[in-house]
Amino acid sequence: MTENTAHKNKYLCPQQCENLKLYRYAADDRGLAYIYFFNPVCNWWVNFFPMWLAPNTITLIGFFFSVAPGIVLFSKYGTSFENGDTPIDSWFFYFYAVCYFVYRMCDEVDGKQARRTKNSSALGMLFDHGCDAYGVNLHILNIMKCL
């Protein structure tokens, strides 16, 4: 039996599998809003969370604020994307702005809480990015409905 046939992964060679074990996730955001607002505010805000609070709980709270505007929007104004008859009230846009802001802050803080409590994990990262992936689609639907 050769080395290639003994290896069980048919997509990666043994060297690539070894290199995968060395991979470490490191995000880098160079946006001005992140550098001058979100990062400093979240670094300050994370100190108010108790150490026992799981980062995934913060992610879930943020995800709720990502889902809530869609529930309100589609239950109050219907599921049709042709809004000619029922204009959306201005209070909804303020509500949506607050929900988006809370979602964004929770999304920034959950990673900081994970590093602070030494609870970073691949599962937590998958949960965070999974909620973000669903959330962005909900935001797109909300914006399409509003337009």
Are the beta carbons of 56 and 125 closer than 8 angstroms? Answer: no
Q: Cα–Cα distance between 58 and 127 in angstroms, integer?
A: 11
Active-site residue, selected from the candidate residues 83, 129, 140, 143: 129
| Summary count for the chain: helices (H), strands (E) | 7, 0
Q: Cα–Cα distance between 136 and 81 in angstroms, integer?
A: 18
| 41-77: burial string, b at 16+ Cβ within 10 Å, e else | ebeebbeebeeebebbebbebbbebbbbbbeebeeeb
Whether 129 is catalytic is yes
In terms of Cα–Cα distance, which of 52, 27, 54, 51 is closest to 129? 27
**Active-site positions?**
129
